[in-house]
Amino acid sequence: MLSERKARLEPELCVMKARSVLIAVAGGVLLTLLTGLLSNTPEMMVGATHYGYPLAWLIRMIVAPQYFPWVVDYISLLADIVFWSIIVGIAVLAVGVARKRAV
């Protein structure tokens, strides 16, 4: 009886885990893109405005912008996506634990 119940719950747990990971990654990407609206320029930096938090991944060149003034630092962008995905994943995990305790 117990093994039958466990066999029924295993696919359901896989779907829940996959959904949690998908929510965490999508939330991380969304938060990273939203932080691209926040200026994160160091105080002594002149000639460029940096955007993104905690790492500046979007830079707008003000002095001598050449042809296209926007520069994307892809390593910082990826690091920010990982950072915010972990934060969202922890929040999703906390909500899941709270729901289990409430039931």
Is this prediction's pTM over 0.75? yes
**What pLDDT, on the 0 to 100 scale, is given for residue 99?**
85
Tens digits of residue pLDDT in 48-80 = 889 999 999 999 888 776 678 889 999 999 999
Q: Answer yes or no: is pLDDT of 7 > 60.
A: no
Give which of 58, 38, 56, 60 is closest to 48, Cα–Cα.
60
Q: Is 47 exposed, middle or buried (0-12, 13-18, 19+ CB in 10 A)?
A: exposed
**Per-residue pLDDT tens over the stretch 12-36:** 556 668 888 999 999 999 999 999 9
Distance CA 79, CA 57 (A): 9
- Parse the chain into domains and list their residue ranges: 25-96
pLDDT of 63 reads: 79
- Closest among 55, 61, 59, 60 to 32, alpha carbons compared: 55
Residue 103: the pLDDT is 73
